[in-house]
Chain A
Amino acid sequence: METLKTCEFASAPINEALTPADKIRLLKEMLRIRRFEQAALRAYQGGKMGGFLHLYIGQESVAAGACSLMGPNDHVITAYRDHGHALAVGMNMNECMAELFGKATGCSKGKGGSMHFFAPDKNYWGGHGIVGGQTPLGLGLAYGLKYKGLTGSAMCFMGDGAVNQGCFYESMNMASLWNLPVIYIIENNGYSMGTSLARSSVFKSCLAERAEGFGIEWDTLNGEDVYEVRAKIQVAVDRAHQESRPTVLEIATYRYYGHSVADAKHKVYRSEEEIETYKAQHDPINLWKARLLEERVLNEEQYEAIDDAAKKEASDSVIFAEESPIPSVESITEDVYFEVDRQTAAGRTGRHFFND
């Protein structure tokens, strides 16, 4: 039954179209995310960075699968668990690691940190720290696309805990009312910090079903399978492109680490067994690897080589970050106002900053 379903997704046109090289690239993207974050975790534990570090490990198939569907006018925005999406849209490890280290070479010049990665040139709009705060922004990206007459979509990722923010409902209403091509992708990893899904939300069959009340198409999917992720998100992308209609998707997934690295209690609110079972039976990278081996597009040596390259890229990024300069004190007040940074007439008129 299970295999049958997976076969069906494998033969979806969007997956049929994948070349062996494409399939290997998907593996590579997932491994890059995992190795990057493992390197980041070691550096964090070694005191190389401050603040929070929310790891995406376990959920890699979602970002890698979804972002592999992006065309020139498809955009991505997410919450603070944002390293996976950043790498999947094509940001490089150096700029990401340097950002974690708070260095001038970081993607946000050391100003944003782990939760605030951005790459507008890659249609990646962050990296947002306030739970649910990105959901109206996703709506706005979709509105902007429609306004400009572009055929595209805005994939707005969010957690299962974020569905209880009011602005999400206001956004769904407007998305449907105004026919906007936004795709809300709920990455349901079962927990919002230390609170299980059952303790935070009521729902009939699932969270995505809440879209029903807004007349929005919705679906659920199993995030462990890259084929399924791609096949079902593509349906939403097509809907966005062809009908300019929103979709709400709920993807079952799992995070292996605590909410953030500082979450010392994550083996208290969930069992060790639950974590181990997921890792052993549902790991998206293992499953994809097994599938590619089975399809004979990959062999063990190739896998090792890809993994080694990802590890090397990650450790090189740590060296890059380590060796990069700390931003200057003057830079604290740069990037606050466009007009001041560019020294335009507007930027030179009136006082903008108030330290003496």
Chain B
Amino acid sequence: MAEITYREALRHAMAEEIERDENVVLLGEEVAEYDGAYKVTEGLWKRFGDKRVADTPISEAAFIGMGVGASMLGLRPVMELMFWSFSSVAWDQIVNNAGFVRYMSGGLINCPIVIRGPANGGTNVGATHSHTPENWLANVPGIKVVCPATPYDAKGLLKAAIRDNDPVMFMENTLLYGEKGEVPEEEYIIPLGVADVKREGTDVSIIAHGRAVLTALKAAELLQAEHDISAEVLDLRSIRPLDEEAILRTVRKTHRVVLVEENKPFCGVDAQIASIIAEKCFDDLDAPILRLSAIDAPAIYSPELERRQLPRPTDVVEKVLSICR
């Protein structure tokens, strides 16, 4: 299997889907001639031309809304937001139009759009550019939310998202774009709503999504090497739909759980997970459900401190030790 980057995996997924389906079109700021602000779409405009890959002005409300409208007519727009942070400008289009048009029309209309781009902190670009809105969007029935952590997942999930007939919010991470991983040559799809055990373990479950999965995996190594604790790492991959069974399965196996996310704590994704665990496998728990989130403030610029604001492997280890001793 070839090792490719997360960025390349996304690019391959888009290229394959453009080739497979004439209704797939890529739109966004700087995606075509500039090759993408983060080079995810590099080479695609050269290869597929103006019709399939096009640059838009800095008009998020207009172009996201345009994508939503076009998807109602059967196109499959893959819209790049240079940062998910800029989705706030297009919020009405995403929530009220993409999210609700099916419901409001009594199922007459559907909206097969993908909106993708990076949604992460940790790059010292300040609070306005560091949003992690997966929880905000997962709060909207009608919308799907996906947060891949590895190149393999990024490719398989993006292909599934493009083929999905509902609006899918696809959240990447600029810190992951350069991460490498094995991705097979042959085609594969990862269905939305299926979590993945990234590391088997028996003593404690660490549940995470997005880049926090890598943090959890590093923590699991430390726990094994330094404390002889066997941690299982479950990657949610998809936030809504959510693989509830996988969550319950791992908790029933290890009886202890630490939830890790780079999101803020209040009503973060992990608040929902914690509530499900508390309700459905209370009797399986040998310790309270613990959560580790970003420090509860807007993303700070100061590089030194932003590193501290997001969960680090050592923070995860500390949490785990507090219930495993």
Contact = CB atoms under 8 A, between A and B. Distances in A.
Interface of A: 49-52, 99, 102-103, 108, 110-113, 115-116, 128-133, 161-162, 164-167, 192-195, 199-201, 265, 269, 326-327, 329, 331-333, 336, 353-356
A31 B293 CA distance: 45
Given A50-B124, A129-B128, A195 B55 contact: yes
A333 B297 contact: yes
Given A129-B129, A336-B297, A102 B302 contact: yes
Contacts of B126: 51, 111-113, 115-116, 129
Contact of A111 (B34, B123, B300): B300
B123 A50 contact: yes
A57 B58 CA distance: 23
Q: Helix, strand, loop or mixed for chain B's interface?
A: loop
B304 A164 contact: no
A115 B128 contact: yes
B129 A166 contact: no
12 contacts: A110-B300, A110-B302, A130-B85, A130-B89, A133-B128, A166-B59, A192-B57, A195-B33, A265-B34, A333-B295, A354-B265, A355-B296
B61 interface: yes
B287 interface: no
Contacts of B59: 164-166
B62 interface: yes
A130 B86 contact: yes
Interface in B267-325: 290-291, 293, 295-298, 300-306, 308-309
A167 B61 CA distance: 10
Contact of B33 (A108, A133, A194, A354): A194
Interface in B28-43: 29-30, 33-35, 37
B58 A50 contact: no
B15 to A, nearest CB: 21
Interface core residue of B86, B124, B290 (most chain A CB under 10 Å)? B124
B305 A102 contact: yes
A355 B309 CA distance: 11
Nearest to A52: B125
Given A115-B126, A193-B37, A199-B55, A353 B305 contact: no
B80 to A, nearest CB: 13
A43 to B, nearest CB: 13
B324 to A, nearest CB: 17
Contacts of B33: 194-195, 199, 269
Contact of A332 (B30, B293, B308): B308
A129 B127 CA distance: 9
Interface residues of B, number: 43
B23 interface: no
Contacts of A193: 29-30, 34, 37
Given A112-B127, A130-B85, A192-B57, 4 more contacts: A110-B302, A333-B297, A354-B293, A355-B295
Nearest to B294: A355
B128 A116 contact: yes
Contact of B301 (A111, A162, A192, A353): A111
Contacts of A132: 58, 89
Contacts of A116: 126-128, 301
A159 B293 CA distance: 36
B301 A326 contact: no
Contacts of A111: 126-127, 298, 300-302
Contacts of A103: 302
A131 B81 CA distance: 13
B34 A269 contact: yes
Given A49-B303, A110-B305, A164 B57 contact: yes
Nearest to B295: A332
Can you list the 10 inter-chain pairs with the closest CB atoms, starting with the nearest? A50-B124, A102-B302, A113-B301, A194-B34, A110-B302, A129-B128, A50-B303, A51-B124, A354-B265, A164-B57
A128 B304 CA distance: 22
Nearest to A194: B34
A194 B30 contact: yes
A57 to B, nearest CB: 21
Contacts of A194: 30, 33-34
Given A113-B124, A129-B128, A130-B89, A201 B296 contact: no
A332 B34 contact: no
Given A51-B123, A51-B125, A115-B126, A353 B296 contact: yes
